[in-house]
Amino acid sequence: MNEQKRIEVLIEHVGKAVTFAEMIGTTPASVTKLRNGKFHIEAFAVRIANAFPEVNCRWLLTGNGEPFAKEAAEGRISAELRALRKSVDELTAKVGERP
């Protein structure tokens, strides 16, 4: 799998290129250059690894192996579910407070 396809996998993982750019601390224009092969993954590898602890770094840099470490991905999903549950509980409490 080439670099551009690996970037597409990561973008699909978060839903939008703009979201991906925000998560790795860069601009949408830089992500476009990554997608088009004008920038190389190596230039953003540390940022990507920090933003996505579930990403297999060997896969990120070489394309070998699986994109995501199963345990890390499950941990991230669990954390996101906990955050969503907390938000729902807070919204439910606010609705209950209305006269």
Per-residue pLDDT of 1-25, as tens digits, reads 899 999 999 999 999 999 999 999 9
Question: Do both 59 and 76 map to the same domain?
Answer: no
Q: Are residues 42 and 11 both part of a single domain? A: yes
The span from the CA of 69 to the CA of 94, in Å, is 38
In a shared domain, residues 19 and 47:
yes
- Do 42 and 3 reside in the same domain of the chain? yes
Render pLDDT for 30-76 as a digit per residue (tens, 0 to 9): 999 999 999 999 999 999 999 998 899 999 999 998 898 776 556 66
User: How many separate domains does the chain show?
Assistant: 2
Q: Name 72's bridge partners.
A: none
| 60 and 43 belong to one structural domain | yes
Same domain, 64 and 98: no
Give me the domain span that covers residue 96: 69-99
Q: Which long-range contacts (CB under 8 A, 24 or more apart) does 30-35 make?
A: 31/7, 34/3, 34/4, 34/7, 35/4, 35/7, 35/8, 35/11
Element spanning 55, H or E: none
Task: Indicate if 83 and 39 belong to the same structural domain.
Answer: no
Q: Is the pLDDT of residue 98 over 80?
A: no
